[in-house]
Every structure is written in C-alpha cells, then in structure tokens.
Structure 1
Amino acid sequence: MVSSQPKYDLIREVGRGSYGVVYEALVRRTCARVAVKKIRCHAPENVELALREFWALSSIKSQHPNVIHLEECILQKDGMVQKMSHGSGSSLYLQLVETSLKGEIAFDPKSAYYLWFVMDFCDGGDMNEYLLSRKPSRRTNTSFMLQLSSALAFLHKNQIIHRDLKPDNILISRGRPDASDPEPTLKVADFGLSKVCSAAGHNPEEPVNVNKCFLSTACGTDFYMAPEVWEGHYTAKADIFALGIIIWAMLERITFVDTETKKELLGSYVRQGTAIVPVGEALLENPKMELLIPVKKKSMNARMKQLLKEMLAANPQDRPDAFELELRLVNIAFKDSSWDT
C-alpha cells in the first residue's frame, strides 16, 4: 500500500555510518520510541548493503533479546512511502534488487529513493561508549559475554554469518534502575555485511551448517578479522574469532585509537616493534605465533584463558562453534567459583 502519510516522526540524529543515518523516532499513533535507519539509495553499493541487512533481519522468523529486531522496512520514493516485504513483487522493490545485482542504478535517478529500517531503540550508545566510560566490572563482563554468545548462537542457528562483529555494532539498551537485574541488554546490530547461507545445492529439509558454508568476499573491520578472512575463504568460524577479540579486549580493557575517527576503541592486537597489528593479520603471517593472554593483567581464569586461545586459533577448525562456545561460557560463569575477570 502506497501512502503519503508517514507513520513516524524523526526526533533527533543518534548515529551516522558509512551508508545510513540513524534517528530516534516516535510512532505517531502510539508515541512509542523506535530507531529509524534512513538509507539513501543513490548508489549501487548503498542499495546492496541495505538489501543485505534487510534480507538478513527479515529472514529471522523469531526474536532474540540480544539481536536487533526489524519492525518493518519502508521504501520512500520522493514524498510517497510503501512498506516493503522480502520477495515482494513491487516494481520499486524489484528495481532495488536489479540495482544490487547489476551494480548500476535501475531506477529514475532524478527521484529520491530512501529505505527506512524501523528497529528497536537502544538508549545506551554502543559497547565502546558504555564500557569505556565506566570502571571494569566482573558482573558486567560476565553478563556481556553470555549475551553475546547467546546472540551469535541464535544467528548461526538461523544461517546468518554477521561478518562485521565489533563493539561499534553492538548497541546497549540500559536496564531500569529498579529492575531485578540492572545490567543493560546488548543488541547485535548492523547487518549490512551479513550473509544468509541458503540451502542451494543442499537438501532443503536439512538446515544449512554455517560452519560448512564457505564465503570468498573479504570484508569486515581489520582489527576483528580472522586470518582466513584476509585470504578470502572462510566460514562462520570468522564470527567466533571476532567475538574472541571483543571478549579479550573487554576483559583486559585493551584499546587502540582509530586512525580516521581518532576514537578510542576496544580491540586486541599484536605489537610488532612500535606498530600495532591486527591479531588476524599477524596469525596469517605466522600461524604458530603464541598469543600472550593475558597481556595486561597478572592472571586470568585458566578455563577462560584456554577458551580465548581456542576462539583465536589460526586454524578455524580448532575454534569452538557458536553452540559449544555458549555452553562453555555458561559453565565458566556459573560453575567455576574461581572465575575472575
């Protein structure tokens, strides 16, 4: 249904990325707060990233508390808006798909095309902002690890490889002060580089194993990329590596300064002389390199240290899958009284 009446009022800009602007918005009918990511479809690469995110989020048939939820996707052409659904026969939708596939604009460039993703509103910024503005907390570290491993197991169960896990893409929904558990809720977001592993060539009755779904496009963010991603041949085990970098950095508060934005970011690395090198790149050059874990603290729980080393193994086959990872973190958190972050 095409309409000229918008359902949402944009209140303020809360974030800006390489291909979209995120706003805090209100639903006109209910005054509920939502987040709206508004993406201008003026270049094929923007359309491709937007459709990747749309396909990934719309492929999930259930919700998870630690994965951002897509309420709806709206296509705006000039002053008219239309709700989009995956696989829609709408001519506007098909023009976007054609643009993504061909790598050239397949619609009238004189018109202004935008995609609006309406999602959960997260009021606590991202994981970097939240953790680096507070003192280290064992309780928060434990909560965040369990939430992240649960989210990743859910995504992999739904045949989604995120491919760009990093603290910037993990949003915070703050807990109520009067709640029984005041720890905030994490939401894995930004699925623009994600890949949904299809059943093509497989028995459609059997779920696709994301750890056997090989991808060849090298993408992600340097400091969180697994060694095999640098080579361009990898599976969902690359997400395990990225999460290992994030958890290690969180536990020891390891940070680096982004050369472009000058922001301090959570992320582990290897020192080579005066330079800092992404762990994945260093392991690609020297797969037998022994990672110094912990690197800043005097000690670390032995089971946590071993798990981090496995998550960051040069050979992806030596890493746990997302389901084993979730179980092991639960065991460390709740069954080891000497657990110490």
Structure 2
Amino acid sequence: MEELYTLEKEVGRGSYGVVFEGHMSKTGQRVAIKRLPCSSPECIELYLQELWAMRATAKEHPNVIALHSCLLQTGPRTLQNLKPGKLPLDLVESALKGTVVGVSHTQERTNSRFQQRTSSASKLQDRINTAQARPRLQDKTNSITSDAKTPQRPPSRPRKRPAKREEEQRGPLRCLALWLVMEYCDGGDLNQYLLSRPPDSQHNHSVVQQLSSAVAFLHSLGIIHRDLKPDNVLVCDTPTGPVVKVADFGLSKMSEGLVEGDLTRQHFSSTCGSDFYMAPEVWGGLSYTAQADIFSLGVMFWAILERITFLQEGTTQEQLGAYVCKGRWLMPLGEALWENADLQLCIPMKFKRAPPLPPPPGPAVCSLLLDMLASNPDARPPADQLQARVRSALKEDSH
C-alpha cells in the first residue's frame, strides 16, 4: 500500500467498511480510501454492486463521486490493482455460491463456468461477461509408479520433477478486502456541511440543482441509487460554494436495459434504503421503479430548503429530513403516505424547523416538492425532466 498510497487517518466508519484520508505516494494528491472487508457473500455482493456502479459513472459527472482505482488485498501486505473493465472472479464466485471461496491461481477460471449459473445470479453474471477468461493451465503430471513392467530411467539419469510454481507453493488464497480509491471531499457529508453553517438560500438552491443533475445522470446510465440521503452526499467546499457528490452505491442497482426506453418501467423488489427517505411503495413492500429515487430526493430537497431536521433514534446528531408529526412521534413521509395515500402534506412546514431559519420556498418550488412526494410514483417527475423543473421553479419564485 505504501508504494501507491499513504493512509493518514480514519474519516468515516459504517456498517460495511472504513474510509481513510490518504495521499497518492507519487503525486501527493489527497484521496479517500475505502476498505471493504470481504467476510461474507452478502457483503461481497454489495461491494461488487458498488464497484460496478462507480466504474460505470467513472469521472463523467461533477456531482457523482469519482473512482480512481480498485485494489484487491490477498494478504496482510499483498495488494494488486484490479484492471479496468474486470471484476474479481473469486468474489463473483463467492456471491454466486453464497459462501466465501479461496482464490487458487492454478484453478481454471473461465466465464463459461459462471454463465452456467443461470437462475439466482443472472444479473450478476451479465456483469462479468466482458471479463477475459484465464488461460487453462496444463494438468500436473501424475507420478510414475515403480512397476516391473514400467520402463525406468537409468540410475545415471535421475528423473527431474518440475519445480512448483510460487502460486502452488503458497496454496489457495482468499481476497481479504477491496480497497476503493476515490476523490476526497473536504466538506464532509451534506448534513455536516449545511447544519454547521448559517442558512444560505443561494447555496441551498445550488445543492438541489446539483443533486437533480446527478440523479438524472445516474438514471440515464440505468443506475438506481436506492439509498439517497444526506449521509450519502459528500461535499467539496470551494470558493464559489459547495460542490456535492452523490456517493455510496452499495445498495444501487443497475438496470439490464431500459424497458422501451423508459427506466421508470423497470421494476425492483428488494426493500432497502433508510427509513426517513424511503418511498411509500418501498415501505409497503411493493415492486418499485426508479421513481423511488425521486421521492427520496423530494424529502431531501424539502429538508434542505426549509432546514428541517430530526434526531436519529439513539443519537444526538441532527439529520436533515422531512417527516409527519403523529402525536409526540415523528413518522417518515413514506410510511405516512403508505398508510394514507390521500394525506395532505403542508409545504412549507410552519414549525419544527431548526433555527436559524431560511426563507420558506415559494409557490412554484412547493408545487414541485408536492409532485416529487406524490404517493403515486407515476405522478412524480422523471429524472430527465427534474433538473429543468427545479431550475424553472427557482427562477419563477425569485421573481
């Protein structure tokens, strides 16, 4: 690791991995380095989804976190670069088999071995179809047994055995971790950045426009994030204002192809996300589309524009997020709308906002927020129209 990157300090820790601040050894460029321990097939599948999504986005959009490289750790101090366009086949096998497998460099590794697994892992298989098959190694020669009828080498010419390759001497290895090297964001996450500063309407408007642009880009690639929330948006603090980066693609899903050119018709069934940002259809365990991301964005936009916060259970850290009051309890919007699809949301919210307060959003923005938070997914604006609607609503209200 020291030859490529220098780890400085830990800057974040979550359920699945640890993020360090580091530097590229040759250039000194500051980077974020995320270590994902490959301890279970469930975790490995999430890591592969994150890696695949980040490779698809590459460095193509200013508001999506950029991936510089990926390293495989196979020993305490053994790292190797993963070539672009390829997935680590041993990790793919772990995800397919449901058990962590070892890596033997003398084993036959071909794509056809994975393509035969067509039932439960068809989507994951599609991701490795472009990986080149490893060449078949020659079978090891069987030992010659002593037998009266078997010709023997003369005593003066003892039979030489080929030396074992270094990989064979080491025996099977296992990928211990994936290391993702990403661009570094010095402003922390969106919660930390916005709530540590006085309200700034201009910055708030810039943030919502950048986020709408990022999600439109992801959806255009067939990527549904499925866990959009302020914790998963990082900020680069620049002299001209915050530049936000959508990050953390562990729960993301890549569509196999647009259905009749429309991502909103591709359905998913896994219930995932964070309570205060999940759409009603996800709360209800129904199949859902990319429009679930639009609902999550609506919750974030409302909270950003009005500075609405709540305390996560068991913590004292304020989080940006809109909700419905039910007695003394706060109920996530998605849950409330699942229970009552005709619930009327009060935008702008007249109370329960964190001081100091920004000016409330104008009528055009309020109308847009209500559309984004519609209980019917088809009533929400698709991502490719959202950016224009956000820009238009902000402009209309400014007049």
- Regarding TM over 0.5, the answer is yes
Give the one of 257, 282, 293 matched to 1:229. 282
CA deviations over 1:12-64 (Å, ceiling 9, x no partner): 11111110111111111111111111111112222111111001111236510
What is aligned with 2:220? 157
> How far off is 1:251 after superposition?
1.2
What is aligned with 1:144? 207
CA deviations over 1:308-327 (Å, ceiling 9, x no partner): 00000000000001121100
Matches within 5 A, 1:1-341: 6-60=3-57, 63-78=60-75, 79-85=77-83, 88=86, 93-107=88-102, 113-176=176-239, 182-199=240-257, 209-230=262-283, 231-296=285-350, 300-338=361-399
- The CA distance in 2 between the partners of 1:299 and 1:70, in whole Å, is 37
- The CA distance in 2 between the partners of 1:268 and 1:316, in whole Å, is 18
Secondary structure at the counterpart of residue 336 of structure 2: helix
- The CA distance in 2 between the partners of 1:18 and 1:62, in whole Å, is 26
Paired residue type of 1:321: P
Secondary structure at the counterpart of residue 364 of structure 2: helix
- The CA distance in 1 between the partners of 2:28 and 2:51, in whole Å, is 25
CA deviations over 1:78-115 (Å, ceiling 9, x no partner): 022122246637xxx11101112232212279856110
Q: How many residues align?
A: 322
Q: Which has the larger radius of gyration?
A: 2
Aligned-pair RMSD on alpha carbons? Answer: 2.0
Paired residue type of 1:156: H
> How far off is 1:294 after superposition?
1.0
CA deviations over 1:186-232 (Å, ceiling 9, x no partner): 000000000010139x6xxx7x5321110000000000000011224
What residue ranges of structure 1 are gaps of 5+ in the alignment? 177-181
- The CA distance in 2 between the partners of 1:70 and 1:232, in whole Å, is 33
Q: TM-score, normalised by structure 1?
A: 0.89
Q: TM-score, normalised by structure 2?
A: 0.77
- Judge conservation of contact 1:160–1:210 (CA < 8 Å) in 2: no
- Judge conservation of contact 1:55–1:86 (CA < 8 Å) in 2: no
- Judge conservation of contact 2:63–2:214 (CA < 8 Å) in 1: yes
Paired residue type of 1:283: L
Secondary structure at the counterpart of residue 271 of structure 2: coil
Secondary structure at the counterpart of residue 235 of structure 1: coil
What residue ranges of structure 2 are gaps of 5+ in the alignment? 104-171, 352-358
- Judge conservation of contact 1:227–1:314 (CA < 8 Å) in 2: yes
Paired residue type of 1:71: H
- Judge conservation of contact 1:6–1:81 (CA < 8 Å) in 2: no
